[in-house]
Structure 1
Amino acid sequence: MTAPRLLLIQPDPADPPGPLGEWLVRAGANLDVRIPPEESLPDTLDDHDGVVCLGGGMNAEDDARHPWLAGLRSLLSSAAARDVPTLCVCLGAQLLAVATGGSVAPGHDGPEVGPSLVAKKDAAWMDPLCADLPLMQDVFQFHSDEIAQLPSRAVLLASSPRYPNQAYRIGRRVYGLQFHIETTPEVVRSWAANSRTKADAVRDSAFDDGTLARVHADIAETWEPFVGRFVDLAAGRLAPAEVRASSLPIVDG
């Protein structure tokens, strides 16, 4: 059985791969982990079967403080253009959106933080990674910016009342998730301690031990199989999505 080699990009030391990395390995992937700017990104994806890009505390276009973001967006643009299997989480999903013609802006309704649910859109029921997800999926939110506009050829896969662009696909194999599935209770508590603006946006019970343990158990139950399907997609064991010809993003449902 082929073990796909995945480039895993960690833009922020404070957001490690966590369970997501474990799920990828358990599903049979080999990981090439890069933490820029200390570790450079490859010029091409010729030596990789797929890409995973994690989150971070910076903004998607914060090039003045993080000039290496331009190269990361270029790499994600190349992945989307070549339809390389790609999975981008939170900041990663924002970087992917900007790199492919969408836009990111400060959240119009303030920070979205804490345990949450997102709902499948109609297109998700026909998507190879999302079809087997439940109608409502447990996730963890921790973002101040939003994906204000999806790229023109994006398919919306999941939404929520406050911020509709929660999960999307570009082409047949490229995915963005605005929310987190890679966190642990310890990571979340460290974020809350270092970002009081976001942490103060939710009730204190969102960060208590019982709540964090419960939500991360629910996230694992839902999202580990999803990650396994992504590895199968990268390995060529799972057929990619079928794309209908359209000049507009598919957002209804």
Structure 2
Amino acid sequence: MAFDGTVLAVNRTENLRTEPVVTVVQSDPDFGLGTLAAAIGDGARVLRTDLGEVLPPLHEVGDALVVLGGGLAVHADAPWLSDLRDLLREAVSAGVPVLAIGLGAQLLAVATGGRVEIAPPPGPERGVTSLYWRRGACDDAVLGRVVDVRARTTPVVGHHSDAIVDLPAEAVWLGSSSLYPFQGFRVGSALGLQFQPEADAALVAGWAAHLDADQARTLRTEFALHEEEVARTGAALGAAFMAQVRASIGDPVDA
């Protein structure tokens, strides 16, 4: 199925502007926008590579690019993965705002000179973990609007087996967990997040369905204890990313 560029845009009647156009690349039915949907969804065009939709050239991406997570490895035998790495590299070179999550963050790291290890020795990171923000996160164009400078830690949901083990040379390291250090980083206009800020009850239920009974129970229990805070963080991150996008196109609304 070819990408037709259909845009779901909402007119702002108060200033006759439309929402920024954001291309969202989804490669797995279990990894959708979740908590990010309210902020990003109005101007989003979701492209499903897992359903055969073709990646657009950079000039058809719109105002920003979001690359969601998924169960594939970064070098899996899927022809669109190489194209997506190229698209991420081109977006960074052109200064297009990018939000890359989970698999998306791993692809961003590899595309810009980093390295991902398949099934590293610490093992899978699943469930709620504490995200430790580094000093640069408070100054980041997106995370600076999300990070609590007093607490410096945030409960987030992790759901990955592979991990970024070397950041790109020009990356700014922004956050870590106790199990894996490279949970957040920035390369130019792109923010990469290994954790899953989009996690909501529906997505967590989908992830749990692929785990054994004990792992699924732990994931659901941990998420239920932190669901409200995880949802606030995801919504705040989505809004902050869209503020960056609006600023990049000269739209002062919420920028």
Coarse TM-score class (shorter-chain normalised): 0.7 to 0.9
Return the offset for 1:79: 0.8
Alignment of 1:45-194 (within 5 A): 45-62=59-76, 64=77, 66-105=78-117, 106-132=119-145, 133-134=147-148, 135-171=152-188, 173-194=189-210
| TM-score, normalising length: structure 2 | 0.83
Return the offset for 1:226: 2.2
**Which of the pair is proportionally richer in helix?**
2
Does the 8 Å contact 1:113/1:140 carry over to 2? yes
The amino acid of 1:136's aligned partner reads: T
Q: Structure 1 residues 3-12 or 212-221, which shifts more?
A: 212-221
Return the offset for 1:47: 4.7
SS at match of 1:45: helix
**Distance (whole Å) between structure 2 residues aligned to residue 36 and residue 203 of structure 1:** 27
SS at match of 2:100: strand
- Cα pair distance change 1:113/1:43, threshold 3 Å: same
Alignment gaps of 5+ in structure 2: 1-16, 251-255
- Cα pair distance change 1:68/1:238, threshold 3 Å: closer
Percent identity of paired positions between Structure 1 and Structure 2:
35
Return the offset for 1:238: 9.3
Choose the corresponding residue for 2:40, options 20, 24, 30: 24
Return the offset for 1:2: 5.1
Partner residue, 1:236 = 247
The amino acid of 1:67's aligned partner reads: P
Does the 8 Å contact 1:45/1:79 carry over to 2? no
Does the 8 Å contact 1:159/1:167 carry over to 2? yes
Q: Structure 1 residues 42-51 or 104-113, which shifts more?
A: 42-51
**Distance (whole Å) between structure 1 residues aligned to residue 80 and residue 192 of structure 2:** 20
**Distance (whole Å) between structure 2 residues aligned to residue 215 and residue 71 of structure 1:** 36
Does the 8 Å contact 2:39/2:235 carry over to 1? yes
**Distance (whole Å) between structure 2 residues aligned to residue 121 and residue 176 of structure 1:** 14
The amino acid of 1:216's aligned partner reads: E
Return the offset for 1:46: 4.4
Does the 8 Å contact 1:104/1:145 carry over to 2? yes
Choose the corresponding residue for 1:225, options 229, 236, 241: 236
| TM-score, normalising length: structure 1 | 0.83
- Superposed CA RMSD in Å reads 2.1
Does the 8 Å contact 1:232/1:238 carry over to 2? no
Does the 8 Å contact 1:229/1:238 carry over to 2? no
